[in-house]
């Protein structure tokens, strides 16, 4: 099973992808998480990517395509995978095509810009293991501490309000055309994001079973 999640930044793709990943026993591949990890550990790729992510801009296609090519070659991807945050541009989707990767389903998670701005302000991420939380919708059982590893939770630099606005603009201009790209292939399904994440999961599963 190969699934692609599309959706605005903060729409909740990552959270839904993690839940599906556990249910289906296939890995989630999040380019955002891979890039943040590279920035945290200070690799060459991380150093190159940092200025883009902090400005709310996309990391160049060649960089992310390279990340995905390497990751999909790992043995755990043989049974399938969920892509969260890739592709994000038409050239990235074309690169996936030319790697011979044909998704079974592309799920677009729809959430209004206003709801996204509200959600981003409450988002927290573990600085050690990368787990994500939300103060209101998905709180850690340990408050401002990660319930998985015990490290401190922080606000992502790119979740600052000004940066969120530019990420939304980039989404509408550059990523949203992918809906049309996959609709033409007959692969696009739409899920309306719900206030409660369990409700969104139920709708996502219904689409998978549908
Ligand atoms: P969100 O979906 O909330 O925007 P992500 O964790 O998916 O966050 O991505 C964080 C940042 O990493 C993006 O703003 C962008 O700079 C970079 N990034 C992630 N995936 C891609 C991609 N496929 N192409 C280009 N840049 C990416
Ligand atoms: Zn953690």
The predicted-structure confidence for 6-54, as pLDDT tens digits, reads as follows 999 989 899 899 999 999 999 999 999 999 999 999 999 999 999 999 8
Which ligand lies nearest the alpha carbon of 33? 1
Tell me if residue 71 is catalytic: no
pLDDT for the residue 137: 85
Tell me if residue 156 is catalytic: yes
Over residues 64-78, mean pLDDT: 96
Q: How confident is the model at residue 79 (pLDDT cuts 50, 70, 90)?
A: very high
pLDDT for the residue 197: 86
Over residues 174-203, mean pLDDT: 96
CB 6 within 8 A of CB 84: no
Largest CA distance in the chain: 45
CB 195 within 8 A of CB 203: no
pLDDT for the residue 158: 85
| Ligand 1 within 6 A of CB of 32 | yes
Q: How confident is the model at residue 145 (pLDDT cuts 50, 70, 90)?
A: very high
> Which of these is catalytic: 2, 13, 71, 203?
13
Q: Which candidate, 3, 62, 1, places its Cα nearest to that of 30? A: 3
Which percentage of the chain shows pLDDT scores above 70? 100
Q: How confident is the model at residue 102 (pLDDT cuts 50, 70, 90)?
A: very high
| Ligand 1 within 6 A of CB of 7 | no
> The pTM is what?
0.87
pLDDT for the residue 75: 97
What is the rounded CA–CA span in Å between residue 181 and residue 112? Answer: 21
Over residues 72-79, mean pLDDT: 96
SS (H, E, C) 31-57: HHHHHHHHHHHCCHHHHHHHHHHHCCC
Q: Are strands 132-134 and 105-110 parallel, antiparallel or unpaired?
A: unpaired
Which ligand lies nearest the alpha carbon of 92? 1
């Amino acid at each position: 099973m190969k699934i692609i999640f599309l959706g605005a930044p903060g729409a909740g793709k990552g959270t839904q992808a993690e839940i599906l990943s556990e249910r289906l026993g296939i890995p989630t591949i999040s380019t955002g998480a891979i890039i943040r990890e590279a920035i945290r550990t200070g690799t060459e790729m991380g150093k190159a990517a940092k200025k883009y992510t902090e400005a709310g801009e996309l990391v160049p296609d060649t960089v992310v395509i390279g990340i995905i090519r390497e990751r999909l070659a790992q043995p755990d991807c043989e049974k399938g995978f969920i892509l969260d945050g890739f592709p994000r541009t038409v050239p990235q989707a074309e690169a996936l095509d030319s790697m011979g990767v044909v998704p079974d389903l592309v799920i677009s998670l729809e959430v209004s810009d206003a709801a996204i701005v509200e959600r981003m302000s409450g988002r927290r991420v573990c600085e050690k293991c990368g787990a994500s939380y939300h103060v209101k919708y998905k709180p850690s059982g340990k408050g401002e501490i990660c319930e998985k590893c015990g490290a401190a939770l922080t606000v992502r630099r790119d979740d600052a309000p000004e940066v969120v606005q530019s990420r939304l603009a980039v989404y509408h201009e550059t990523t949203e055309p992918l809906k049309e790209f996959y609709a033409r292939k007959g692969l696009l399904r739409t899920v309306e994001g719900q206030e409660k994440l369990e409700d969104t999961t139920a709708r996502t599963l219904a689409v998978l079973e549908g």
